[in-house]
Structure 1
């Protein structure tokens, strides 16, 4: 084997090199029956290389994969656009709240009507009673529900959070929960949403949109003092 052959077999072939070779040697494929058969090609009349069934099947399969991937990307884009549009609408609803009680009602209402969920809850760690409509938590309970003091959000099913959802807790199969810090000095709280679908919220889902809503709830709640 000479040096040029060694270089050819020692490094991967570039598609451009293969293309140049076939352009310079047009008879290479036509005269190699074994290669034609392996590629699923055949020579038609007039020395024209024609696609055989195997080659056509590969082309069709590649086209089908491309179409399915394009459809998946389009569906994902539509779902993301819809979720963002619903979130923006929810922000407007929250900003219209008149007091803490109204804010809690709006969180639950948008969860049910805008997002098709089982419930939406605002919870607060407090020694006394939290605002009307808010769920009461004892000190350290936010850390326990989120499974650690460093965690800002938790997606999926958390048995320790079922008590947040009251009468609907028996139907809850997954949750989305984000830590909040409200007022100065800050009070630990949670914005939590519940779904009856086990796949409604899963641990591999991003929590960005829920966290965005939590920041809106924080800022809105701080309009009024905690009595």
Structure 2
């Protein structure tokens, strides 16, 4: 082994060192048939190293992976933009509610016709709830959400009662905690999807939590009678 080979063998294999070694030892790669074959390269009649089928296949596969990843990112970006636009439109509709019953009706209508869901509803703990709202016993919100705190998503059979009359249509759901009036009353905003994968635990709750805050502020316009 000559001095150049000794130096690269002793130093860390950094790209710049490898490039410098090959430039200083041009015959090293051309004369090592085993290495050329392993790399998918070959030497043509003019002593020019060419890419062989294996190397070309690797480059093509890498290009396909990059194109697929770019396509997936673009699809996610379009879906997020569409969801945000639909959410902003929903806020305008909710702010036009005339009373608690109308607010509950608008939530359900928006869920079905703007977001393509099966149902939506509002539930409130206490002794009474507004017309169109589901009544829960004290502490039931904590029982429904468990250790998830603000929001919970996924397949939750024990929460199907929040979708009174349409339980059989709901396969997955998004539940968000709400707190309204003084003293605070605990409640839940519930969205139900007919798709078992419509809401999954790994989804971010930001948009549904935002709608819950809008529902809270809108509901507080009117006293709880």
TM-score bucket of the superposed structures, by smaller chain = over 0.9
Q: Does 1:215 align with 2:224?
A: no
Q: Does 1:71 align with 2:71?
A: yes
Contact 2:8/2:21, CA 8 A, preserved across alignment: no
Q: Does 1:133 align with 2:146?
A: no
Q: How does 1:112-127 map to 2 (within 5 A)?
A: 112-127=112-127
Contact 1:118/1:172, CA 8 A, preserved across alignment: yes
1:45 aligned counterpart, secondary structure: coil
Displacement after TM superposition at 1:11 (Å): 6.2
The aligned counterpart of 1:180 is 178
CA-to-aligned-CA distance 1:66-106 (integer Å, 9 cap, x gap): 11111111111111111111111111111111111111111
Q: Counterparts of 2:59 and 2:181 in 1: how far apart (Å)? A: 62
Displacement after TM superposition at 1:27 (Å): 2.4
2:166 aligned counterpart, secondary structure: helix
CA-to-aligned-CA distance 1:1-57 (integer Å, 9 cap, x gap): 9xx989855764111211222223222212221211111111113211111111111
154, 157, 163: which is aligned to 1:156? Answer: 154
2:132 aligned counterpart, secondary structure: coil
Q: Counterparts of 2:167 and 2:79 in 1: how far apart (Å)? A: 27
TM-score (normalizing by structure 1)? 0.92
Where in structure 1 are there 5+ consecutive unaligned residues?
none
Query: 1:76/1:12 Cα in 2 relative to 1: closer, same or farther (>3 Å)?
Result: farther
The aligned counterpart of 1:49 is 49
Displacement after TM superposition at 1:169 (Å): 0.1
User: How many residues were matched structurally?
Assistant: 225
